[in-house]
Structure 1
Amino acid sequence: MQLKMGNIGPIRAATVNLNSLNVLIGPNNSGKSIFATGMYAAWSRAAADYAARRVRLGKHFSAIPDDRAYEASAYVFEMLEEGKTPQVEELPDVITDIFDGLLREIMNLYARGMVNEFERIFGMPLVELRRRQKRLTKGAISVRSWRPTWSIDMEISSRGTKTEVSPPDLSEVWPKSGTHSWRRIKKRTDHVQGLPRTYLLREMATEIARNCFRKIPLHTKYLPAARSGLLQSHKTLAASMVRRASMAGVEELKVPAMSGVVVDFLGELLELEPRESSHFADEAAQLEREILSGTVRLEEDLFGYPEIIYTHGQGDYPLARTSSMISEIAPIVVYLRHILMRNDHLVIEEPEAHLHPASQTALARCICRLVNKGLRVSLTTHSEFFLQQLNNAIVASAIPEPEADEVGFDPEMRLSPNKVGAYLFEPTASGTEVHSLEVIPDSGISQNSFSEVEEKLYGESVVLSRRLEEDEEN
């Protein structure tokens, strides 16, 4: 999948594909966080769920002649009975026309849901996101999918948001249903003879709708840059809102404006349950061992809210009494242990924040393992240490396994360059341009943006050393 943004915030033009690992690099105020927020909105299931809830199946299938519905149902049922896959070419034209119309409606609903999701996640109407120069520009957001091929294009102007939809072709969507899907349909329709003729067709329509969005991660989670502060204050905020709720209807209840990213993060914290998932438990333990030097666990407080407790050799501490480093890493541990599953998408802003360089490299190693175990990760970073560790993992994948093992890169640590997408956010006078960086097997991601700073610092140190020598000689 692909996300494009034009004239949004400081960004003039940006295109990013959904890879197993997406690395957004660039200076402060270059638009990395805005684009990461856009990724969260674009690759969320919320818009797809909106389309699934609103689609009007009855409108489409009530128009099917009974004889055609019987013919199509009989053919599909016969194929399922024989353990074969029904072929879309064998269906009557009236049925395929209905399915084509259904696809158009689903994608139009999906586009509407996506606009709503973008506005919710950013916490403002899309028209307010347009880049300002001498005058407000026209903004654009595009989301594209391949296999199946569809696109949503949003043009944002002072008049509002105009969407243009290109739905997928039925012949491309139909084959996405595998044997397991057809078995599920057959199980639901084993007694189809006693049901309306369109029942089986409705089941097929639901499957077709699902096929449109198979490339979208099942869950997308976002860890914002301010997570340490939010983590320490979320219960106070929730308690304050609950106390004031009793006055609703008596006086105006003012709620602080928050972006959907923050609201979703706070919601995750308040709804956490102490059940563990086994998908990434090893990586959670790795972070505790290598960075925290302690453990993180969930407890319920007196009011039933989940409390994150940090346990060290000297005792137990709520996060409000721990360092910023622990508050930064603790939510990652909690998400890995209690929330995330394989094929989910995790967006992390500045994973290196408040971390010593040794801890930054340990977190980078952990992310390599997570990517190899099936978690999609998108992150923004300013850290040369973090990026260098990712590059080492990429280079390790290009050398023989025994040699990589000797220097500490087991198979789960080696990162194939095919899994990585790197993007440089480069501010210009006309807005930030985003460039795709080549990921090279023998060197990894280019670090030119860091090299320029390094060369400048080196040049300053040379001049200072010469001046010092001149003063000593005088």
Structure 2
Amino acid sequence: MKITVKNFGAIKEGTLDLSKKLNIFCGPNGTGKTYMAYMIYGLLKSQIHFGQDIELAQNLIENRKITYPINIKDVNKYRTALIENFKNEFDSLFGISPELAKLYFDSTEILYSENENEYLELLIKSEFKTTISIRKLEVEVTKTADTNYLELEISEKTMSNKDIDLIEFFLYSSILSLLASYPISSTYISPVERNSIFTFSKELSINKQEAVDHFHAMTAKTKIDKFELLFKKTTRYPLPIKDGLMIADDLGEIKKNTGKFFEFANQIEHELLKGKVQITSDGEIQFKPEKAQKRSLPIHMTASIVKSLSSLVVYLKHIAQENDLIIIDEPEINLHPDNQIILTRLFARLINKGFRIMISTHSDYVVRELNNLIMLSSNKKSIQDLKEKFSYGEDEFINKKDISVHYFNYPQKLRGNKQVNLVSIEVDDSGFEIPSVGLAIENQNEISEELYYRLNYDENE
């Protein structure tokens, strides 16, 4: 799935291939990397109701297992309607007023880059197994490679009239939503504000903020529509922060689900955090250090690395599904260089478990370790020998074909240009280079060498 964006904040134009297993954003501050990550997150989280197919729903209810032929025209109509609806929600995405959203993003365009035949070919070649959840009902969806249909199966033996109504209402739109976002099943984001979400979740609670907003609206002198107020959601926070706070509000329920990647989260706890992230019966986050297992620290008393990564651990333990897209803004925050390297290796392991990852980074340590992982994908015996020598795991590698690197920067040749060029950086067998990072390191090395020479060898002093 490829998405093209035009006139989006500082970004003049750019295209992202979300079928890649790893998308990397890099470049100077203030060039739109976070905007782009937010946009991708918001678009993939969006859903619309696109009508009903009563016959399809009744067929599934009656037979429990059916096939659904993929109708690419319906999928494309859904995608077009989804984008139009999403463009009207930039206020909610960024936590701003509708007036500001219109001022900032009125000329923004979002397009799916593939034409109808290209996307149909992608869907036909695809192979996956996932679940559509309709309230408490689950529909198993299986797609076999080189076929143009889905297999739908529902396991419930008895269903109430309410269950039947729900399937009739949601099934058709849910199928189109699944096909419209292939190969991504769901999306999780870890914004730069992640340190504060669990630490201050009670103070920043979405429910509390909505209650405050409703109180101010009810006591205001201006006349309001009470029915509209009932369904009004707070825009006090950008969507990624709001969704993080909603998870924090619901930790008591979330902890009841032990996900498929629970054990992998345990590995992160051991390798990076040196302890366990736990959820109490009251829905509070605590941390139990490996060196003091009889103690449980409240999240606000833990090291910054624990605050930074605890949300990722909770997600992997209790929420994550195969084919999810994980978006992490500046994963290097609060991490010593050795832990930046460990986390980058963990990204490779996540990718090889079926996840897709999107990161923005300024870290030379992260970039260099990504390059090491690319070189480790070589089948050369000498490379594999080094893999063992330097203690890399079997799934700690990344194929260059699975990576897209996007460089955000203002064009140097056009002075006064106010919009960013989004440039794709070539990835070869040895990895890739980030122009601004490499230049900063070269300049710093030049200064250091000059200072060292003058300090030790200048005979004029």
Per the normalisation by structure 2, the TM-score is 0.74
Q: How many correspondences in the alignment?
A: 400
How many Å separate the matches in 1 of 2:171 and 2:193? 45
- Shift in CA distance, 213/138, structure 1 to aligned 2, threshold 3 Å: closer
Matches within 5 A, 1:39-438: 39-44=40-45, 46-47=46-47, 50=48, 53-57=49-53, 106-124=78-96, 125=98, 126-130=101-105, 138-145=107-114, 149=118, 178=144, 184=152, 209=176, 212-213=179-180, 215-238=182-205, 240-241=208-209, 244=212, 247=215, 251-252=219-220, 257-272=236-251, 273-301=254-282, 306-312=283-289, 313-314=291-292, 315-400=295-380, 402-403=384-385, 404-428=387-411, 429-430=416-417, 431-438=419-426
Shift of 1:22: 0.9
User: Do the aligned partners of 2:184 and 2:324 also contact (CA within 8 Å) in 1?
Assistant: yes
Shift of 1:101: 7.5
Question: 370-379 vs 116-125, which deviates more?
Answer: 116-125
- Shift in CA distance, 219/207, structure 1 to aligned 2, threshold 3 Å: closer
Shift of 1:86: 9.5
Match of 1:154 in 2: none
Question: 328-337 vs 203-212, which deviates more?
Answer: 203-212
How many Å separate the matches in 2 of 1:412 and 1:342? 16
User: Do the aligned partners of 2:41 and 2:188 also contact (CA within 8 Å) in 1?
Assistant: yes
Question: 224-233 vs 395-404, which deviates more?
Answer: 395-404
SS at match of 2:392: coil
SS at match of 2:359: strand
- Shift in CA distance, 217/117, structure 1 to aligned 2, threshold 3 Å: farther
What is the letter of the counterpart of residue 428 of structure 2? I
- Which segments of 5 or more consecutive residues in structure 1 lack a partner in the other structure? 62-75, 89-98, 131-136, 151-167, 189-200
Shift of 1:177: 6.0
User: Do the aligned partners of 1:43 and 1:216 also contact (CA within 8 Å) in 2?
Assistant: no
What is the letter of the counterpart of residue 39 of structure 1? I
User: Do the aligned partners of 1:424 and 1:436 also contact (CA within 8 Å) in 2?
Assistant: yes
- Which segments of 5 or more consecutive residues in structure 2 lack a partner in the other structure? 128-141, 157-167, 221-228
Shift of 1:27: 1.4
User: Do the aligned partners of 1:361 and 1:385 also contact (CA within 8 Å) in 2?
Assistant: yes
Identity over the aligned pairs, expressed in percent? 24
What is the letter of the counterpart of residue 138 of structure 1? S
User: Do the aligned partners of 1:42 and 1:143 also contact (CA within 8 Å) in 2?
Assistant: no
Q: Bigger radius of gyration, 1 or 2?
A: 1
How many Å separate the matches in 2 of 1:413 and 1:173? 27
What is the letter of the counterpart of residue 291 of structure 1? L
How many Å separate the matches in 1 of 2:66 and 2:200? 57
Shift of 1:183: 5.4
What is the letter of the counterpart of residue 320 of structure 1? H
- Shift in CA distance, 182/393, structure 1 to aligned 2, threshold 3 Å: closer
- Shift in CA distance, 319/128, structure 1 to aligned 2, threshold 3 Å: farther
Per the normalisation by structure 1, the TM-score is 0.72
Q: Deviations over 1:97-136 (max 9, x none)?
A: xx78855753453333333454432334553334xxxxxx
Shift of 1:139: 2.8
Cα RMSD of the aligned pairs, angstroms, is: 4.1
Question: 111-120 vs 309-318, which deviates more?
Answer: 111-120
User: Do the aligned partners of 1:121 and 1:260 also contact (CA within 8 Å) in 2?
Assistant: yes
